[in-house]
Every structure is written in C-alpha cells, then in structure tokens.
Structure 1
C-alpha cells in the first residue's frame, strides 16, 4: 500500500516538504491541510505589498493549490483546520471550515508546519476598527480593504523589530504620519545599540517619529475606530494601528499531544527534524532551529530556514537521510535608504552566554577610495572570542554593499573561521565594487594591529 503523508500547514516548510516527498516517493499519498485560503506565499513581502512596491497579491504567491495538484499530485485542502493530533492512533482531527464539519484522517507520517502567530497582548481596545497585525496574507488583505473605505492619516506602529520597521516605511510611503513605539530602550533589540541608533536616525530623517521605553497599556476609540494608543507615559493619536511586537510558535496542539517543546515553546526537533514521537516531524516557524554558534537549539523564525527545514524533513519522511546543518542567525532589513544586517551573536547574546569576547568597530567605504561614491560609508561591528579568536558574530549598517559583506561573514561563521582568517579570503575586487582590502578584512587588520 502507498504510504500516506499528512502535512499540517501549507506555507514555506509544509510545501517544501510536500514537494520533496513527491520526489522521493512518486507513489505516496500526500495530503496538506491549510486553515486559510492561500498557500506557498512570501510572508516577508507583505509590507511591500501594503506599501505598493509589490502591486499584486499574485506576485507573492509561488504556487497555488491547483498547481501542486496538477503538477505533483499533492492534495492541498484549503480551509481545513487541524484541531488535534492523536499520535496513539496515528490520526489528526480536522475541521472543514466551509462544510462546518469534523473529520478524522489517519496518517503514516505526519509533519507539523503550523508556523508562527503574531503576538497580541490582551490590551483593551485591541479589537477596535483600524487595529491590525501584519503576519498573514489575510492580514494584509484586511488592512488594504479597510484603507479603501477609510482615510486615516496618523499611523502608530507598535514594535520596532524587522516587520515593524518595514511596515513603518510602507505606511510612510502611502503618505501617513507615522509613529513607532517600542517597549525596549532601543529599536531592533537583536542588534547592538550603535547599529540601532543608525536605524533610529534614519527613521527620524525621513519624518518617522520614534518613542522608546513606551509600555502600551491600551488603545482608545469607539465603534468608528481607534483614536489613540495609550502608554504609561502618555497618549499617541492614531487612526490606524499596526501591532508588530513579534511572533510566537504555533505549538499548542503539539504540546497537548505530548510532543516535547524547546526554546520559546517551539517544537523541539533533532537534526533530521524528528520530534520525540515516532513518525512525527516538525519544521519552520513552529520548530526549533539549531544554532551553530550557540551549539544549542534556538528559535529564529525566518523564511529561509523554514524552506530548508521543510525540504530536509520531506527527505526523511520519505525514508531518506538528510540533516539540518543549523543556522548562524543571519538577517537583513531595509529601512528607507539604509540597510542593516547581522549574523552570529550580538553583544547581548555574548554577555548572556558568558562568552569572553572582543569587539572591533570600524567605518569603511564599500568601494575604492578614489571611485565616486555619494552614499554613506559602512559601519561594521565584529565580535570574536577573546581566547581562540573565533568569529562570534557581526553587524553592518550602511547604503550599498551591506548584503555582500553580511553573506561573507555568515559563511565565515558557518565554517568556524577566526577573525584572522578573514584576511586570507580571496574576495572580488574592482574599484566600483570594493577596495583591495574588503571592509571585513580592514576590520581584521585593525584587530591584528592592536595585537602587535
């Protein structure tokens, strides 16, 4: 008999797994349950969809349910919400939302790819008209539909993380007066303070107001809509509010089924993406991610990782052997005309782990000194182990050239290189693209001179 594979969640991890299973097992039955009406779309592109940079919803959708069925014989069932995992019976209990009925579906192998959900505290007024999150395609469509019927002018974004900053820019592009509130003493707390200050200056230079150390206590308004965000320090007028304070793994059903959880209640998986229960795998934003620098499970939900984990889970579910090599915590974000990126550990993470480290910080042009360049120079910060000089992490901010350097750094971190190894790298050079010594190598030289 053909093996039945059941996948819960039809986005990056789930559909990557389904595609890989089909390559490994041409005869297997693959069923994907997705509680929403769209699959396989780019969540990271939603702020650009809202801002009008991406003009059409369909541009964010990689493949439709029909595509997967016709091309790969994968049975994708939209508007099917899984209510329970029953490992003892190897079954899932599913609610068919359109038919308003429940069904029981058996499986041979199960993948949990339930993703993450936006964190929304129990603030009074969180359900007022004009208050949104921006996590799913449905969120974006609701926001855009609301904007077609209303004419707000003052937007408050609660949360200064990646999506919050991208959303602030998107709303500014649409002509809103935008205010960003954050509970922390700096924006993007996963970055070092000097990089966060560059981001804050960029926002202010473009007319976005930033208020830090602001603890939201509620939202005011009436049936017509939200009017203000209230914090312990004051009140901020708003007729549109975006809550963007982070995400959490959707792991409640897994916990109820006896599946072990890890950091931040993400589903704990091994290098093959297996859970503690036989024939149950997990991948993507609902699962843990092994961090190569920390040498421990972590939770860093990103689309790149979800696709990799889904593919690896699919191979293993179909009887093959593949292992997830882990992450080093690489991320990049555009904030108006500036780009910030990071890989490895921040100063705070080094401190929390008790790692003895040193930091080198420099400013450098990303191209030759004599070649015309009107953009801001790069700010680089590299952290390395004080004893063995292994690279621990780094962050870069600037205009052009940030993406190139962060990927070089991520590669160096992945392979356990030292700060001194950077100088030996054979990197591309021509005056319009680099100097004879890349900025990363210049930082390494500063360290070596300090050692001499």
Structure 2
C-alpha cells in the first residue's frame, strides 16, 4: 500500500513510522515543506533561555536518520499545493528546483500543521520582530539575545508559549512585557485562577497587560516601540505569539470539509472523503466530555491521534477517546496545569457545576521543599462527576492534572476518585493525596457541610455585608476580630449567632474547622472564604 503523508513534524512522522512497523511492505512517503522534520517545537522557548544549550537537541530526527530508522521516504523542501481526491493524486512544488511533481497514493494523510498568526498591523516585518515556531526562529532569537543588545522586549500573546518565551527572555536579563487582547492570560483557566498567576508574574518581573489591542510596531529599520489601544511600550525586541492558523489553504476546492480552515475528522481520523485522513495542528478532533469538535494543537494530541490513525489505515478501526484541553506550563517559581471544562463551559454544556478553590500541601509539610498546590476542582452537583481541574503550585502540578484526566476520561465521580490508593511517601505526597483532599473538600461543599464564598464571589462583592473574622494561625488581617480556633468551646464573645460572619484563615482549612465548631454552638450564618489570604487579598 502506498501512503502519502503531507507534513513531517509531529503527527506525520508518528503516522509514517507506525505504518512501517505495522507492515514493512508499505510504501510510505513524507512530503515536508521545511528542511527539518520531527523537531521539538515545545522546547524552543527553553533554547532561547539557554535551558537547552545545544540547538541539535531540538532536532529529534534528521530526515536521513529517520529514514534509516523507519524505512519511510522523506522529501524535504517539498510543498503540497493541490489534492485531487478523485484521481488520488497530490501535486507538490519542489522548493529547491521550482519543479512541480505529482504523487499518487492509495491512502493520504494530511498533517501539514499550522503557522503563526501575523497580526494585521504595520511593522511586523521590521528587524527584531520574531515568531517562535521553528528551530530557525529560536536560533535567530537566541543569537540576538546573546548579543546583549536587547534590554526590553514585548511578547504579544499571553498563552502558554508566550509566557514561556517571556520567562526565558527574563533569564537572559531582558525585561519583558506581555500583552494580550483577552481579559486574562492562560486560556482555559477561570478568571480568578488566571488573575492569581498574573499577579505572581508581576512580582517576578514579568508584567502581563490584558484587555489591550496591539495597533502597530514602530521603528526606523528595526523595532523601537509597540503601540496599543492603551499606551505605547518601548521595545528592542518583539515576539509575536498571538495564535496559529492551520496550513490548509491549498485544500480549497478539494471537497475536504473544514471549519475555519481546520479539517474535520471522525473518531478514526478520517475526513469526509474516502482514504483521506488528517491529524495534528491542521485537524479537528473531539472533546471527550461534550463530544463536540475540538481543536487541540498540541504535540501530545498529534502523537496519540497519529498513532491511532496509522493503525486505522491498516484496518484496526480504533476510535480516539478525545481531548480535554489538558495543558501544563512552567513559569517563574510557579507551575500551572489544567484539564476539562471551566465552570462557565460546564454550565454552557448543561451541567450543574459546583467548584471549590483549595490550598493544600503538595507533600508532607515537614519534608524539605514542601510547598502548596492551589487547586480549583469542578464537578457536576447532581451526578458528582468530575468535570475539570486547574492547579497552581511550585511542585509537580502535572500529577494532579493527570489524575484528573484519568478520572474524567473514565467518568469518575468524586466519591470514587477521593478513595483511590494513590502513591504516598513524605517526599512525594501527603497521606491523603492533594487531589483526594480537594475532592473531599468539594464533596463537603456540595453536601452543605462546608459553606463558602468562592474567590470569584468575594471579588464580586457578594460578601460585602458579612463581618470578616480572622481565623488565621496568628492574627493576620488588620482591623478584623481574631478568633483562635483552639479556644472555642462555646459561643464567642462579640459574634452574634445569627450574624453574617465570613471566616478567613491562611488557606481555608482552619476557617472550615472553626465554622464546624461555630455551627455546633448555634451559629447559623457563617461562610468561609475559599483559598484564604493565600489566594485572596482581604481588607476590612
């Protein structure tokens, strides 16, 4: 069988290699527009910051090495320009010679990826304006930063790559500003969680300015200033990381069904046309929770889906389980991760979402290096099914995210997930795992045992008529009456039993324990501020 694969970065090379492992008699040809195949796109920011020193480490496989390892034929600098599904032919342009060639196929895989969005503004072509999508981009950017000519940089786009670039520029002694037109950084995070991260980035020397539109890039030959809808920012360097667009323009008129330029596929990776498959950043998959089409331009999705497609081409008939928007990101002294639905998304999909924000130990509190996780967990109130998790912390946030992914994919409920036999030893976790701890807190909230204001409700002013009571380990909230939990053995002087009382402690746990006691002694209207003063700014 002759299989033609268009594109050879992540999905394409995975599919081609798996096809040859499935059946060595296959003839598999990869046509790739660029010179490099199988490169580490997600590692590019870390090359800029000298975390990865050798540029050769970014290239997972050269075409020659890959061909010898797999038996796949690789033609680089060869751009597909037309697909003829009826004749089962692809016309490609040889970028080295200018020659056009036609390739026949039995099966066709389209995995041509995506390219950075170039904003429709003046100045994008000035010197020292960069995209960071290919190894060549990262190499040129690092050469400039190593020259020590750059003092100030503007990064346009506060997504994961944009923030990673900003962190690595800062490692080079460059002062970065991050600009984004969205209301908050980190797509896929709820506003209060994203806002907390923005504050921490500001403290670390990476200001993030949201709700701002970039209107132009100015300079005499090379960039000097970035203008926006609010103000101008001086810059010696600009990195444009404002999104990507599928490279599917050449498919116009082919009959392949697309949505906003992204190829629609079924669970087997097939397009609407026979013998044509699509994968990677140019293709849609589906959301595992909602079943709706979803765009997941991630290396992980490309590899997982690609491996399944190769097996399906060989007749396996396997269905892809779908994506959850899972993401994880390293930031200065902080890691962030998320999966599943946000609270707003869950409500829009017809669930009855309830969430809780908890601050829990990430390992035994007495163990060197112990810190905290801030976990926002979302579940359906009626079924108790887990719907989503967002986590912030200095430690291994990915383990909390990955447990959540497993639970969501297996349609787990909070009671089931809270009692799993998860790994414990003081260097790694707490006796009740941080994930299980958050699940228990959320179940307490759903049952009514734990009555709270969420950080979002508090910020919106819903607790405005409540008396703030300081329940911290030591007095910490200026102007608030202080109550030491351990001394409460009956009614508390100065607190009325029907008075609206907001209990605030360092993380939320001590306030919950105080709420539990006060309820026993007849207090009828207490609330706890989720996340305490660790997550919220509290003033009396």
Per-residue CA distance 1:175-227 (angstroms, 9 max, x = gap): 1011111112211132112221232122212212222211111111122x011
For 1:385, the equivalent position in structure 2 comes to 380
For 1:371, the equivalent position in structure 2 comes to 367
Shift of 1:149: 6.1
SS of 1:191's equivalent in the other structure is: coil
For 1:239, the equivalent position in structure 2 comes to 236
**In structure 1, C-alpha distance between the alignment counterparts of 2:304 and 2:375, rounded to whole Å:** 28
**In structure 1, C-alpha distance between the alignment counterparts of 2:148 and 2:439, rounded to whole Å:** 54
Per-residue CA distance 1:352-374 (angstroms, 9 max, x = gap): 43432100111011112343445
Shift of 1:414: 1.0
TM-score of the superposition, structure 2-length normalised? 0.80
For 2:330, the equivalent position in structure 1 comes to 334
Q: Is the 8 A contact 2:144 2:150 kept in 1?
A: no
Shift of 1:150: 7.2
Gap runs ≥5 in structure 1: none
Q: Is the 8 A contact 1:195 1:340 kept in 2?
A: no
Deviates more, 1:56-65 or 1:30-39: 56-65
Deviates more, 1:312-321 or 1:21-30: 312-321
Q: Is the 8 A contact 2:145 2:172 kept in 1?
A: no
Deviates more, 1:202-211 or 1:214-223: 202-211
For 2:290, the equivalent position in structure 1 comes to 294
| Superposition map of 1:295-310 within 5 A | 295-310=291-306
SS of 1:321's equivalent in the other structure is: coil
For 2:122, the equivalent position in structure 1 comes to 124
For 1:219, the equivalent position in structure 2 comes to 217
Q: Is the 8 A contact 2:47 2:142 kept in 1?
A: no
SS of 2:404's equivalent in the other structure is: helix
User: Relative contact order: is structure 1 or structure 2 higher (C-alpha 8 Å, sep ≥ 6)?
Assistant: 1
Q: Is the 8 A contact 2:363 2:370 kept in 1?
A: no
**In structure 2, C-alpha distance between the alignment counterparts of 1:171 and 1:107, rounded to whole Å:** 45
**In structure 2, C-alpha distance between the alignment counterparts of 1:317 and 1:14, rounded to whole Å:** 13
**In structure 2, C-alpha distance between the alignment counterparts of 1:190 and 1:97, rounded to whole Å:** 39
Deviates more, 1:389-398 or 1:179-188: 179-188
Higher Rg of the two aligned structures: 2
Aligned match for 2:439, one of 429, 436, 444: 444
Q: Is the 8 A contact 1:359 1:381 kept in 2?
A: yes
For 1:105, the equivalent position in structure 2 comes to 103
**In structure 2, C-alpha distance between the alignment counterparts of 1:70 and 1:31, rounded to whole Å:** 13
**In structure 2, C-alpha distance between the alignment counterparts of 1:158 and 1:429, rounded to whole Å:** 42
Deviates more, 1:21-30 or 1:312-321: 312-321
Shift of 1:138: 2.6
SS of 1:40's equivalent in the other structure is: strand
**In structure 2, C-alpha distance between the alignment counterparts of 1:70 and 1:435, rounded to whole Å:** 47
Per-residue CA distance 1:37-69 (angstroms, 9 max, x = gap): 100111000000111111112212222111122
SS of 2:205's equivalent in the other structure is: coil
SS of 1:256's equivalent in the other structure is: coil
Per-residue CA distance 1:250-304 (angstroms, 9 max, x = gap): 2223343111114x43211111111011111001111112211122111121101
**In structure 1, C-alpha distance between the alignment counterparts of 2:194 and 2:209, rounded to whole Å:** 13
Q: Is the 8 A contact 2:188 2:325 kept in 1?
A: no
Aligned match for 1:60, one of 58, 61, 80: 58
For 1:196, the equivalent position in structure 2 comes to 194
Change (3 A) 1:148 1:80: farther
Gap runs ≥5 in structure 2: 450-540
Aligned match for 1:256, one of 233, 253, 256: 253
Deviates more, 1:365-374 or 1:436-445: 365-374
For 2:401, the equivalent position in structure 1 comes to 406
Q: Is the 8 A contact 2:112 2:248 kept in 1?
A: yes
For 2:42, the equivalent position in structure 1 comes to 44
Per-residue CA distance 1:385-430 (angstroms, 9 max, x = gap): 1211111101000111312111111111111111222222111112
Verify: 1:314 aligned to 2:310, yes or no. yes
Instruction: Provide the alpha-carbon RMSD of the alignment.
Output: 1.6
**In structure 1, C-alpha distance between the alignment counterparts of 2:322 and 2:302, rounded to whole Å:** 11
Shift of 1:447: 2.7
**In structure 1, C-alpha distance between the alignment counterparts of 2:147 and 2:443, rounded to whole Å:** 61
Name the count of aligned residue pairs. 447
